[in-house]
Chain A
Amino acid sequence: MNAATLFGLCGAALVGLGLYGLVTNPEPLRKILAFNLLGSGVFLVFGVVAKRAAASGLGGDPVPQAMVITAIVVAFAATAMAIALVLRLLQETGRSTLSSDTSAATDTAGADS
């Protein structure tokens, strides 16, 4: 097994791991963390694709490498927006939860306004 395949399998495992965390962990912040883990697994798959396609004296195909750079920045922007939402929800309700029981949430919101 060469290095590329090894890291490819690592990427696949990370995608599974991240997906599991995203689905099962109820805390929004932990979901966001899991999303980042899932994302980095996906990026690794890009890296493996790039590495395998090495040619012309390059260590890897620059096209997928450039795509990953674009995607990393997008993932960061997504994380920033999600965290801002979580913190705003905390400010508004004193809780950070995605569960549909919003009775507590609406009470506090009503008291605020």
Chain B
Amino acid sequence: MPDANLLPDATTTDGVFLVLAIVLPAAGVLLSFVLGGRYAERIALVLLPSGFILATIILVDVWQSGHRLVYIVGDWKPPLGIALRADGLSAAMMVVMAIVFCAVAIFAYADFGTRAGSAEARAPFAFWILLMAIWGAMNLIFLGGDLFTLYVALELLTFAAVPLVCLDGRAETLQAALRYLIFALLGSILYLVGTALLYGSYATLDIVLLSRQIRAEPATLVAAALMTIGLFAKTALFPLHLWLPPAHAGAPAAASAVLSAVVVKGSFFLVVRLWFDVMPGMLGGAGAQLFGALGAAAIIFGSVVALQQQRLKLLIAYSTVAQIGYLFLIFPLALDAASGQLQGSGALTGGIIQAISHATAKAAMFMAAGLIYAALGHDRIAELGGIARALPMTIFAFALGGVSLIGLPPSGGFLAKWILLEATVATGQWWWALVILAGGLFTSCYMFIVLSRAVAPSGAPLKLKTAVPKYQEAAALALALTSLLLGLVALGPIDIIEVGRPDSIMVGSR
């Protein structure tokens, strides 16, 4: 049987689902914008769950056929036109992100729900539309087959994410949003200049076509370097992380959850697309070690700074800086020393599992922190005493999220770190194993600090400022449980992530 992944592109039978994944959010944004008021919320609450169904259909399709789904937009094949493609990597990410979106929507209903008959209000109107926009932008990032379309997706993501940061309009959050915007714009313009150079050398920006022609010449190397720096800035990889903690910690809880869990993964996904799909042979040993070193620095720095935080939301934000670091350890671990190529299995699978288990765990933790903040009126870690008794379900969700971040079995974090550790052994790079283990140790320390305060008895009887709706706690818990149980995919369809990769030989499993 000829490998279908090497055949020329043509729209596959179920390719139309890929179009829906872009069209539904776009239509949702436009409709909500016109209708306004309660409609924004209603449209989002209908569309986001259907997004989950859609993503599941795509995942099952990719899994069963063993090939990627393709849709040729406008019936114009690349290089002239644009193709949308779903492989195992994108399908897996899409499904998990869709779960996060649904949980965030349920959680946000308490804060951004509009009562019947009340006038359109600013924050809810903006929130629901921006949430749908982020969903659409992420889908486009996962499915886009053309580097310029991906630039548009990056910009969609930026313009949807920045206003979320300062939704409550406080001066610090305005400042955080401005700083975030400047970093994000710098990132996308550097990415853009890379696409210009690549087009100049190959007259196409299609990922598949590029990967067949790419060669190590000056323009390509400069392009790759600039695009990578730009994407690093958007992913907040150390030392370009300065914008992240104030932005993620200052936003409303539902927004923090989306920003930390979902948005930073978008630019990370493009780094993977660029180096694993477009130019797998270009990174080289030194480059891979450099990426890994930045990741390691992020893990150590982020964890150490997280340990010193007085505020819970800032601690969680610095923990994101650290957890992002793990994602970049996959580069030295996936490099095959013999061929000099990045391998699309093993470490990459571990990295993707780390990305999705961090997404679910971190969203749960930000939601829990938001509930704690709402209940206490503050998030000072030293004064958390008694909260575990008042909000047991919330603290439980927070703790479960921590279990995944630390990497205890059976969590997704455990599976991810296990696969990465295996790769360190297989490639003989013990130093990365040290970093992974040290990161886990640091994480357990700051989780311990928070949880020990939370379960400590309070001096005075704790008086909650507001009652916390049960469904908000349930949304956080559901995400935390998802993260915890993600490790169990090891028993099942873990190789789905490798479907549709050019260098993988598909086992015809069904």
Task: Digitize A55-92: 1 where CB-to-B-CB distance is under 8 Å, 0 elsewhere.
Answer: 00000010110010011001101100110011011001
Could you give, for residues 116-152 of chain B, a 1 whenever the CB lies within 8 Å of some chain A CB and a 0 otherwise? Answer: 0000000000000000000000000000000010011
Cβ contact within 8 Å between A102 and B171? yes
Q: Quick check: is A13 within 8 A (CB to CB) of the other chain?
A: no
A74 to B153, CA, bound (A): 12
- In the assembled complex, B199 has its CB within 8 A of some CB on chain A: yes
Query: In the complex, A86→B148 CA distance in Å?
Result: 29
Q: Is the CB of A35 within 8 A of B178?
A: no
- Most-contacted residue by chain A among B181, B185, B192 (CB, 10 A): B185
Determine the chain A residues whose CB is within 8 A of the CB of B157 once the complex forms.
Answer: none
Closest A residue to B152 by beta carbon equals: A70
Query: Which of B159, B174, B175, B182 sits near A77, CB closer than 8 Å?
Result: B159
Tell me the complex Cα distance, A74–B192, Å.
12
Contact residues in A for B170 (Cβ distance below 8 Å): 92, 109
Question: Whole-angstrom distance from the CB of A107 to the nearest CB of chain B?
Answer: 9
A45 near B155: Cβ-Cβ < 8 Å: no
Complex CA distance for A74 and B172, rounded to whole angstroms: 26
A-B contact list, 9 entries, CB within 8 Å: A28-B178, A35-B185, A77-B159, A82-B178, A82-B182, A85-B178, A92-B170, A105-B175, A106-B172
In the complex with contacts A53-B203, A77-B159, A45-B171 CB distance below 8 A = no
Partner of B177, one of A39, A77, A85, A108: A85
Closest B residue to A68 by beta carbon equals: B196
Which residue in chain B gives the minimum CB-CB distance to A82?
A: B181
> Are A67 and B197 CB-contacts (below 8 A) given A78-B181, A85-B181?
no
Determine whether the beta carbon of A109 is less than 8 Å from that of B171.
Answer: yes
A48 to B155, CA, bound (A): 23
Taken residue by residue from 303 to 328, chain B's Cβ proximity to chain A (1 for < 8 Å, 0 otherwise) reads as: 00000000000000000000000000
A46 to chain B, nearest CB (A): 5
A35-B189, A98-B175 known; A46 vs B181 contact (CB < 8 Å): no
Q: Mark B398-413, 1 if CB is under 8 A from A, else 0.
A: 0000000000000000
Interface residues of A (CB under 8 A from B): 15, 22, 28, 31-32, 35, 38-39, 42, 45-46, 48-49, 52-53, 61, 63-64, 67, 70-71, 74-75, 77-78, 81-82, 85-86, 88-89, 92-93, 97-98, 102, 105-106, 108-109
Contact indicator A42/B175 (Cβ below 8 Å): no
Query: In the complex, are the beta carbons of A61 and B189 less than 8 A apart?
Result: no
User: Which B residues touch A86, using CB under 8 A?
Assistant: 178
Is the CB of B162 closer than 8 A to any CB of chain A? yes
A31 to B177, CA, bound (A): 14
Q: Which 4 residue pairs spanning A and B have beta carbons closest together? A: A49-B200, A105-B171, A42-B193, A109-B171
> Is A64 a contact of B185 with CB atoms below 8 Å?
no
Task: Classify the interface of chain A: helix, strand, loop or mixed.
Answer: helix
Binding site secondary structure of chain B? helix
Residue positions of B touching A, CB distance < 8 A: 80, 148, 151-152, 155, 158-159, 162-163, 166, 169-172, 174-175, 177-179, 181-182, 185-186, 189, 192-193, 195-197, 199-200, 203
Task: Report chain A residues within 8 Å CB of B174.
Answer: 85, 88-89, 92
- How many contacts between A and B, using CB within 8 angstroms? 96
Of chain B, the residue at the smallest CB distance from A31 is B182
List 5 other contacts, CB 8 Å, given A49-B199, A89-B178, A92-B171: A28-B182, A42-B189, A67-B148, A78-B185, A81-B162
Q: How far is the CA of A31 from the CA of B193 in the complex (A)?
A: 19
* Docked pose: A68 CA to B199 CA in angstroms: 12
A49-B196 CB under 8 A given contacts A85-B177, A85-B178:
yes
Contact of B181 (CB < 8 Å), options: A52, A64, A75, A81: A81
Asked whether, in the complex, the Cβ of A35 is within 8 Å of the Cβ of B186, the reply is yes
Q: Are A82 and B185 in contact (CB under 8 A)?
A: yes
CB closest residue in chain A, given B191? A42
Given contacts A42-B192, A77-B159, A82-B181, contact A89 B175 (CB under 8 A): yes
Given A35-B189, A81-B159 in contact, is the A102-B175 Cβ separation under 8 Å?
Answer: yes
